[in-house]
Amino acid sequence: MQASEAAPAKINLFLHVTGRRADGYHLLDSLVVFAAHGDVLQARAAPGLSLEIDGPFGGALQAEADNLVLRAARGLAAEAGIVPNAALRLTKNLPVASGIGGGSADAAAALRLLARLWNVAPASPALALALGADVPVCLSGRPTRMQGIGETLLPAPGLPDFGLVLVNLGVAVATPAVFRARAGGFTPPAALPAAWPDAAALAAGLAACVNDLEAPAIGLAPVIGEVLATLRAVPGSLLARMSGSGATCFALFASGAEAAAAAKNIRRQGWWTWGGGVADSAAAT
C-alpha cells in the first residue's frame, strides 16, 4: 500500500520577535497560514528506511546526508518502539531555505504519514519541536497563532477567504545571519481580533503588525526589497510582506483566483512564483 501526504508552504502573515531566552533562543509571535501548494511525500511499506527526492527543487537536497524527513521517521519509530521500515519519496515543489517552512513541512508530513502507515500514536510535541521550531505548527497544518520558540500553538482568529501570491527570487538568506543582523529591541505580541470579516479587513489588521526579520533580511539581500515593491504595485494587492526569515515574499489578495491571475503577470526570469488560495488543513492526498 502506498499513501501520500501534502506538505504545504507555511506563511508567516506577521512575525514579531518578542524577546530572547537565556539560552539564546528568540521568542516569537506569529500568525501562520498554509498555502494550497507545497511538497508531496509518499510512503510504502518496505524493509529498511529509504528516501528518494524528485521535483523541480529536488536537486538542492540530493547532497544532504541526513534529510529532515529521515530524522522525523527515525524519531517517530523510536517513540513507538519499532524499527523504521518505509520507502519514502519526496517531491520537492517548494524552493529550499526560503522562509516558507519547506523542510519543516516535509518533516511534519512524514510524522503524519508514517503514524498512519505504521499504525502508531501521533508524534509527541517534544519530538516535533526537537526537529525544528516550525515543525509543531506545520504538524498542526492549519491556521495557527504560534508563540514562544514554536512550542505554543493557539487558535488563529477567524479568517476570511483570501488569496496569496508567493515569490522567491532564488537568493537564500541564512536564518542565523538574519537574526544576527536584527537591530533594536523587541516587539510586543500583536493585538488581534476574534475574526476578520473580509480580506480587506485582514490586510488592514495585518498592516498594524510587522515582520521583524524583514529589514535585516533586506540588508543582507537588497533584492528582497525590489520583490516587495513589485508585489505592492500589482493591482489588487492588499498587503505585501516577507515570510519568516526570507527570502520568500507574499502578497495578499481578495481571493485565490485573483492571486493566481496576479502571479501569472509578475513572473520574472529566475523568480519562482505561485498564486492561489489558502489550505484549511494539511490534508492527506
- Structural domains in the chain (count): 2
Out of 10, 29, 39, 212, the active site residue is: 10
Beta-carbon contacts of residue 280 (< 8 Å; ≥ 6 apart): 142
Whether residues 11 and 110 share a domain: the answer is yes
Residue 65 has a pLDDT of 64
Mean pLDDT of 17-22: 96
Q: Give the model confidence (pLDDT) of 114-157 as tens digits.
A: 999 999 999 999 999 999 999 999 999 999 999 999 999 999 99
Q: Is 10 a catalytic residue?
A: yes
In a domain, 285, yes or no: no
Q: Dihedrals φ, ψ of 230, to 5°?
A: -65, -45
Q: Is 119 exposed, middle or buried (0-12, 13-18, 19+ CB in 10 A)?
A: exposed
Q: What is the CATH number of the domain that holds 251?
A: 3.30.70.890
Output the pLDDT for position 62: 67
- pLDDT by residue (tens digit) across 63-104? 566 789 999 999 999 999 999 999 999 999 999 888 898 899
* Residue 6: domain span: 2-154
| CATH number assigned to the domain comprising residue 103 | 3.30.230.10
Same domain for 138 and 32 = yes
Residue 284 within a domain = no
- 9 and 137 both lie in a single domain: yes
Catalytic residue, chosen from 39, 106, 134, 212, is: 134
Q: Does residue 28 sit in the same domain as residue 163? A: no
